[in-house]
Amino acid sequence: MSRGWAIIWASFFTTAFASGGSQYGFGMFVEPLEREFGWTRTQINLSLSIGLISGLLSPLIGWGVDKYGSRLIMTVSLIIVAVSFLLRAGMAELWHWYALSALLAVGFPGTFLPIGKLVGTWFPDTRGRMMGTAITGNNVFGLVGVPLLSLVIQAQSWRLAYAIIGAGVMIIAIAVWFIVRSVPQSNDLPFPESRLINENAAHLGDYSFREAIGTRTFWLLLAGVTCAGFSYPSFMTQLIPHMQSVGWGSSKATLVLTVLAGTALASKISWGLVSERLTARISFVIAISIMSSGVILVTLAGSSPLVWPAIVYFGAGFGGIGPLMSLVVMETFGLRNFGSIQGVVTMVLATVPVLIGPIVAGRFFDLTGSYETSFWIVSGIFALGGLLALSVRVQKDGSARTAKTSPL
């Protein structure tokens, strides 16, 4: 399965530079942009809400993955993301910031939507742990990329840091074109690819897109996953500015995000293994419950040393959310139309949280000088997400047909 492992590593670096650069990396640039241009936190955070474009395009991108395959979609999307980062090195106006954020939002869904289907196709029996491995790149960027690029920002400029991220994404785009195959070919496996595809369909079920959205299960899972989506725009991107607002310096505040990334990285593959035993849905409920209580602990810790264990605790739950959000959809509705179904899930996931979360966080900070109120709200949203996912009734074998008995 050397080709399969090459695809896993291509997916790893894709999430490292595309997802990590835009999500973990966002907080590094808040103060430099504020100092150079005089923009408020609300103005800067508004760029995150522009990410709703990603959500609106996700159903189309998901359909494209099912129709045209993962390689084409991933390559084109990575090129768009690379250009959005490279051009930031020369921006001078607020509208430049918004325009390039919109370009990033156009390319972003095609960098991660294909990964779930690739993992499910190439590794049907170990998709939990393989999904965990494939998307740990995001956390590795937070663990390694954030401190390194923070040094670049301090020693040189934020413009050079953006150029480095953009160059990395462009290199990955070229690699993906030569590495990724949507389905195994005869020389990649010891048995014909048609057998693998048939086994996947029999193991995971085969919901059509229309069948899936016609079940109560779909809408409950959609709501629960959307609640988990507030982790990035409402907490992760605000964590460095939050620690700076309670009196920590830039380097120490960045280290908090680095510790969080390391903890999430360490737990991500473990969550994949847990999902293979407890089901992805139950694992998701446990992970988001840890996140809800973890946000409370971080808020109560303030600037005290208790922040460190609180961050580790939150990171242990947060590490599971990335793989579990895709695995729970795959486990419930199957692989054959996964791209189209996950595209709709991503549309809501990438629209509602990014439209509401950053503006609320920025507004509360501008009004109170603190992120505490917005963090309490985020904790409640996470708790609601866990309750919604827990209310779904699916048998432990993960058969999609068990969910079809609950029509709207």
**pLDDT tens digits for range 97-154:** 899 999 998 998 888 888 888 888 888 778 788 887 888 887 788 778 887 888 888 8
Q: What is the band of 288 on the pLDDT scale with cuts at 50, 70, 90?
A: very high
Tell me the HSE value of 255 on the side-chain side, using a 13 A CA sphere. 8
Give dist(CA 76, CA 262) in Å, integer.
30
Fold entry, domain 2-183+195-405: Growth Hormone; Chain: A; (1.20.1250)
Give dist(CA 275, CA 389) in Å, integer.
14
Give dist(CA 401, CA 387) in Å, integer.
23
- Determine the pLDDT at residue 334: 79
Q: What is the band of 296 on the pLDDT scale with cuts at 50, 70, 90?
A: very high
Give dist(CA 276, CA 228) in Å, integer.
20
Residues 6-16: what's their mean pLDDT? Answer: 89
pLDDT tens digit string along 194-235?
444 444 444 445 677 888 888 888 898 899 988 988 887 788
Tokens encoding 36:
């150079």
* Cα–chain center distance at 53: 15
Residue found under tokens 């549309």: 347
Give dist(CA 301, CA 378) in Å, integer.
16
- Residue with the larger pLDDT of the pair 203 and 256: 256
- Residue with the larger pLDDT of the pair 198 and 303: 303
Q: Per-domain residue ranges for the chain? A: 2-183+195-405
Mean pLDDT of the chain: 81
- C-alpha distances in angstroms, 403 versus 32, 231, 384, 398, 406? 49, 27, 21, 9, 6
Q: Which of 133, 111, 107 shows the shortest CA–CA distance to 122?
A: 133
Tokens encoding 266:
């360490």
pLDDT tens digit string along 13-26?
998 888 888 877 78
Indicate the SS3 state at residue 96: helix
- Determine the pLDDT at residue 382: 92
